[in-house]
Chain A
């Protein structure tokens, strides 16, 4: 189980994808042998009242990459990912998926994206099997395809015992897994996953990582946010650090961490550790 480093085969994949050629705006990076840019954020901005949640973010994600987005709480990760997936209308800037503007041509763009949002409900009065079927059919799959993929996904995520139960009765980790399965069922080119490993047990997490790595090896692209620095360092080939609504660092994981661990680098970028002085009262205990 190794991180895929297959630039050449990816370049072949990218060349076979026509979308980038059709749209003159898409940065045609294929010239220097890099794979196509699958996700391109240009000056993406979102304000809530006086607060600027996302401040003119530029970010490019290439086909076949496994990109981790990290940032402290409230940095704008979820806001950014929501704008990428067409769930939150930006105040400025553009999102291009395979050269298609998500906010100008949402129908075409959304077909290429699989979404796992954080902290949004599922239709949880459906059973697991019903939810997968619903997600697949809404994405335009036919009944036979949905049935076969549901069986595969249920086996891959280890949900065999839970397909008949209502999602409302699932544990947090199982809910995450069924939502992740639902995000993949239409085999999108781009998977945007917000906190996919939150409350998932280590065995299931390893399992999910393996599924995602095989997907990436086949030319798919994953963008995920997480607070697990070790996991991101181990799994992701690219990292973007978002703090205060801006991208402070982006590039391959090795470039960003520059010899340190990702966690050390991240803490430094995010404003450093706060000195734990002035907390001496915590060391004398209440009776």
Chain B
């Protein structure tokens, strides 16, 4: 069973290279990136051989514990490849212990697993200063690798079992967004506090504790032995006990997964036809109503709707803690929201997945499609940004600053919507499918997504640049600059929006079948 699954995993990895050129480019980039990071880590660990013992201990145990934690958390939120989901093997009637072992071993095969093996081996070099420590480090290599792989399998399978309903995934998405937004300021706070002389002792104390927890025990055991303390053996025992417990949990999870079908959600009902009744019964109005319903109902849009306003709040908190004065900070959130709001439209068609066939088969006019989709963003977003600009200007102590704020933020939203109107019809890239977790990115995303995202971001900033520059000049006084910034933002943004809607509409009409083909490949 085990060799069979390892071969299956290898075959799946090899087949990744038999996809379209863009996806192969993305895969190669990912491998180069992963390989580079691994090489850096290995080099660092070898170099630590010659560093002072407390420093080496802090780096290895602290970094190692973080890595172990990542192996548990990342699969829960990102949903790593589920090719080895135990539920897929339910019908083969394999004895669960054998299956659990085979799945765990096959889980090592892959880029993260391989990187982990190399890094874990490099710690043997770190502790080669002391023969006893090197020996313990060698023993710890398989312990570390298996602990991490088991944690990731448990994370993925556990999430698969508990979060298989739509509601629970949506709840998780909200928790994740809030948690991430709270983590960032906390991190700044902690680094600020530790930045003094107390930093090293602080980290040292944390590492000392981590070394006795399941997260850090396997990394800490050789370090403790190298320091001449026999307590390292006890840490090794903690690490081994962790591994045994994880193995039992994994076996139990496989057993449960084999006989469960996932939870069922209660169906949701809608009275009447909702937004469709409130907006005009024209193609444009209907597409706007559909887009509005999706922003409210589809968790993938909802994550954007939550994170767009939350991101700038976090940014302001972080900068505020770092000591940027408040009256300047007040000017920041509105343009940042505008930047992300405009940018969020750039891959809209891909979110329909193959349902876009309806627009193609009905021969929807491109302009109707473009404007309809943008309606919720513009109709809700623009007035809120204008109100927000006045609030920000009042907080900054000068109502005149509302003019450049409105100019910059409207310029950003309109530019983003216009550019997105063209790019979403010209270069859609795969996104999470309807109904799947918003963090479950398709493994075929490849390099195209990164290229499109960054190019559009830069173009959007470029269009708004005149308004931004004039706005910055207005900060140091000068009503003329303020009004010029307003005009620059509205005119340039408006022109790009008009161009993007017309050109994007034409591209949409011309490329309808190709858009559907792209969705089928995604």
List chain A positions with a Cβ less than 8 A from chain B.
85-89, 106-107, 110-111, 113, 115, 117, 120-127, 129-130, 133-135, 137-143, 146, 164-166, 168-169, 182
State which of B63-71, B145-153, B268-276 sits at the interface with chain A.
B268-276
Instruction: List 9 A-B residue pairs with CB atoms under 8 Å apart, sorted by A's residue number.
Output: A87-B360, A110-B362, A125-B298, A127-B269, A129-B273, A130-B290, A138-B287, A138-B358, A165-B267
Which parts of B326-354 form the interface with A (CB within 8 Å)? 352-354
Q: Are A121 and B364 in contact (CB under 8 A)?
A: no
Contact A125 B281 (CB under 8 A): no
Residue of B nearest to A183 (CB): B361
* Interface core residue of B265, B269, B285, B362 (most chain A CB under 10 Å): B362
In the complex, whether B294 has a CB less than 8 A from a CB of chain A is yes
Which A residues touch B359, using CB under 8 A? 138
Nearest CB in chain A to that of B285: its residue:
A137
Taking a contact as CB atoms under 8 Å apart, the answer to whether A130 and B361 are in contact is no
Tell me the complex Cα distance, A143–B285, Å: 11
For the complex, give the distance between the alpha carbons of A141 and B363 in Å.
Answer: 14
**Please, which residues of chain B bring their CB within 8 A of the CB of A86?**
360-361, 363, 512-513
Asked whether, in the complex, the Cβ of B285 is within 8 Å of the Cβ of A110, the reply is: no
Collect the chain B residues with CB atoms within 8 Å of residue A135's CB.
358, 362
Q: Are the C-beta atoms of B267 and A166 separated by less than 8 Å?
A: yes
**Distance in Å: Cβ of A123 to nearest Cβ of chain B:** 5
Contact A138/B267 with A121-B434, A125-B297 known, Cβ cut-off 8 Å? no
What residues of B have a CB within 8 angstroms of the CB of A106 in the complex? 363, 512
Smallest distance from the beta carbon of B363 to chain A beta carbons, Å? 4
- Asked whether B282 is an interface residue with its Cβ less than 8 Å from the other chain, the reply is yes
Extra A-B contacts (6), CB below 8 Å, given A123-B355, A124-B434: A86-B361, A87-B361, A120-B354, A134-B286, A143-B281, A166-B267
The answer for the CA separation of A124 and B434 in the assembled complex, in Å, is 8
The 4 A-B residue pairs with the shortest CB-CB distance, nearest first, are A143-B281, A110-B363, A137-B286, A127-B270
A135 to B362, CA, bound (A): 8
Decide if A122 touches B358 in the complex (CB within 8 Å): yes
Q: Which residues of A contact B81 (CB under 8 A)?
A: none
User: Within the complex, what minimum Cβ distance (angstroms) separates B140 from chain A?
Assistant: 43
Q: Which residue of B has the minimal Cβ distance to A109?
A: B363
Q: B472-493: which have CB < 8 Å to A?
A: none
- Asked whether A138 and B364 contact (CB < 8 A) given A120-B357, A125-B297, the answer is yes
Q: Is B517 an interface residue (CB 8 A)?
A: yes
Please give, as numbers and ranges, the residues of chain A lying within 8 Å of B294 by CB-CB distance. Answer: 125
A89–B363 CA distance with the chains assembled, in angstroms: 14
Is B513 a contact of A111 with CB atoms below 8 Å? no
Name the contact of B358 in the complex, choosing from A88, A123, A125, A130 (C-beta under 8 A): A123
Query: Which chain B residues lie closer than 8 Å to A133 at the CB level?
Result: 273, 276, 281, 286
Could you tell me the distance in whole angstroms from the C-beta of B30 to the nearest C-beta in chain A? 26
Q: Are B290 and A87 in contact (CB under 8 A)?
A: no
Tell me whether A115 and B283 are in contact (CB under 8 A).
no
Q: Are B363 and A121 within 8 A (Cβ)?
A: no
Cross-chain contact B434 with A164 (CB below 8 angstroms): no
**Contact B513 A89, beta carbon cutoff 8 Å:** yes
- Contact check, A123 vs B352: say whether CB atoms are below 8 A apart: yes
Checking A87, A124, A137 against B283 with a beta-carbon cut-off of 8 angstroms, the contacting residue is A137
Given A86-B513, A87-B516, A123-B290, A130:B276 Cβ within 8 A: yes
Q: Which residue of A lies closest to B301 (CB)?
A: A125
Q: Mark B242-268, 1 if CB is under 8 A from A, else 0.
A: 000000000000000000000001011
Distance of B173 from chain A, by nearest CB (Å): 15
| CB pair B293 A125 closer than 8 Å | yes
Say if the beta carbon of B228 comes within 8 Å of chain A.
no
A106–B267 alpha-carbon span in the complex (Å)? 38
Contacts of B360 in A (CB 8 A): 86-87
Closest beta carbon of chain B to A185's beta carbon, Å: 11
Cα–Cα distance between A145 and B468 once the two chains are bound (Å):
50
Of all chain B residues, which has the CB nearest A145?
A: B281
Task: Indicate whether B514 reaches chain A with its CB closer than 8 angstroms.
Answer: yes
Task: Report B-chain residues with C-beta under 8 Å of the C-beta of A169.
Answer: 265, 267-268
* Nearest opposing residue in chain A for B365, CB measure: A107
Query: Judging by beta carbons under 8 Å apart, are A130 and B435 in contact?
Result: no
Q: Residues of A contacting B290 with CB < 8 Å?
A: 123, 126, 130, 134
Q: Which residue of A lies closest to B363 (CB)?
A: A110
A168 to B300, CA, bound (A): 15
